[in-house]
Amino acid sequence: MIHKSTIQRRDFLKAGTATVAGTLLAPVAMGQGLASDPKPVRIGCVGVGRRGTSLLGILLRMEGVEVPAVCDLDPAAAVKAQQLVARSGRKAPEVYSKGTEDFQRLMNRGDLDAVILATPWEWHAPMAVSAMKAGKYVGVEVPCAITVDECWELVRTSETTGVPCMMLENWSFRRDNLAVLKMIRAGLFGEIVHCHCAHSHNCVYWYFDAQGQPRWSGDHLLRRNADQYPTHSLGPVLSWMDINCGDRFDTVVSMASRSLGIKDQLERKYGKDHAPAKLPYQQGDIVTTMVKTVRGNTIVIAMDMQLPRPYDNRWQIQGTRGLYNEQRDAVFIADSAEKAENWEPFAPYQAKYDHGWWRDAAAVPGTGAHGGTDGVELREFVRSVRAITQTLIDVYDSVTMSVIFPLSEQSIAAGSAPVKCPDFTGGRWQPTKPKFAVES
């Protein structure tokens, strides 16, 4: 007899985007019967440093979520997470802390439905692959992969196992971005042709520890020159521009400025003799990437993470009938003739086009985390796991956002030459209809 979860999985893969080339999931490993069963969703957390602990805190505010296992290379971090779970009134989770590969033992547990991965970037793809092979839903932090080969491995593993892999790109779930998505779908901006987006955030002290020594992330600044963090910029843009559901990235061109900001910030804080300030950082301060889509639309992505500045994302989406500008918190709609050439405040549009995920703001777990966005994201991830459906951001969307990292690097290294973006969907971007955040 075919188990119910197997049927559902087959159905959503057929209706969705994946081709099931190989094994269907072992039903038990997938958390059988969760859709109709009051049994809780059981999640293993791997990497409980800064971000992983924040995500764990949100999960613990949700009813019907258990955390039977936590894993971190650092035993102190793992025990802190264990205590956090126990303090929430849940059973204390088992700790996996015996070296870099100990996550494999966690993946082999039979009682987990999903894993949340919040480890350094180089571990994301290997851990996600291991989880999918073990039949566990994957919620992986950004970026989900850092090479083109890793992107392909994630896609192929999700296709052959039938297990969803969702990159936890929180800005896809931001309240204003979802309202803009509804305005686009209502045709307010006409046909979309262009978008601008950025991750402008001074992260120098995320790349370095309290003593100003490079952390794991700082190592990437030494070795690579790329848009190393493209997914926060692109999160909402994917659905705004129907990427992987009617259009896809075709060509990528990137340019990097010289690298001065890291050295200058380290010198100002630690003095001229601070050894890490003298290291030869490859990473340019500002990386500007242009993407042309197959449909002929264009996207400008800016990475600006090494210079002192306030945070912003500079989202702007423009079509034949108007545009939205996040920095101005304003829209311009051509048909409002009396207001021609004037920006209108965005707030009334936000109220009118508010997305259902946010309407009951009181139901958002962890409202402190990025204004509640992380709570909406995790709540919807858990909902997919419980219902045994495809995740809202699937493996194709996850790798499409992440692949800008290695493709921008290739383009910069080749003197800003155009680089082709692989079609990870194998042509399925054409018949696939927009599905992210569609309200019935």
Ligand X SMILES: NC(=O)c1ccc[n+]([C@@H]2O[C@H](COP(=O)([O-])OP(=O)(O)OC[C@H]3O[C@@H](n4cnc5c(N)ncnc54)[C@H](O)[C@@H]3O)[C@@H](O)[C@H]2O)c1
DSSP 286: E
Smallest separation (angstroms) from ligand X to the CB of 347: 25
Segment interacting with ligand X, rule: CB under 6 A, options 40-48, 279-287, 341-349, 427-435: 40-48
123 binds ligand X (CB under 6 A): yes
236 binds ligand X (CB under 6 A): no
34 binds ligand X (CB under 6 A): no
Smallest separation (angstroms) from ligand X to the CB of 399: 15
One of 27, 31, 44, 47 touching ligand X (CB under 6 A): 47
Token pair of 197 as six digits: 């987006």
Smallest separation (angstroms) from ligand X to the CB of 109: 15
Task: Indicate the residue among 125 and 266 with the shorter CB distance to ligand X.
Answer: 125
**What letter represents residue 425's amino acid?**
T
One of 60, 142, 399, 437 touching ligand X (CB under 6 A): 142
Per CB under 6 A, contacts with ligand X among 63-122 are 71-74, 77, 100, 103, 118-121
Sign for the CA dihedral angle at 362, 367, 370, 376 comes to: negative
* CA 432 vs CA 99, 151, 231, 247: distances in Å: 42, 20, 22, 10
Build a one-symbol-per-residue string for 158-187: x at contacts with ligand X by CB under 6 A, - elsewhere.
----------x-x-----------------
Token pair of 261 as six digits: 């900001």
372 binds ligand X (CB under 6 A): no
One of 18, 46, 237, 305 touching ligand X (CB under 6 A): 46
One of 141, 150, 326, 394 touching ligand X (CB under 6 A): 141
Smallest separation (angstroms) from ligand X to the CB of 22: 27
Which residue pairs from 259-268 have beta carbons closer than 8 angstroms and sit at least 24 positions apart in sequence? 259/225, 259/283, 259/284, 259/285, 259/306, 260/285, 261/204, 261/285, 261/306, 261/307, 261/308, 262/204, 262/207, 262/221, 262/306, 265/202, 265/204, 265/306, 265/308, 266/204, 266/208, 266/212
Query: Burial code of 153-188, b = ≥16 C-beta within 10 A, e = fewer?
Result: bbbbbbbbbbbbbbbbbbbbbbbbbbbbbbbbbeeb
Binding site for ligand X (CB under 6 A): 46-52, 71-74, 77, 100, 103, 118-121, 123, 141-142, 168, 170
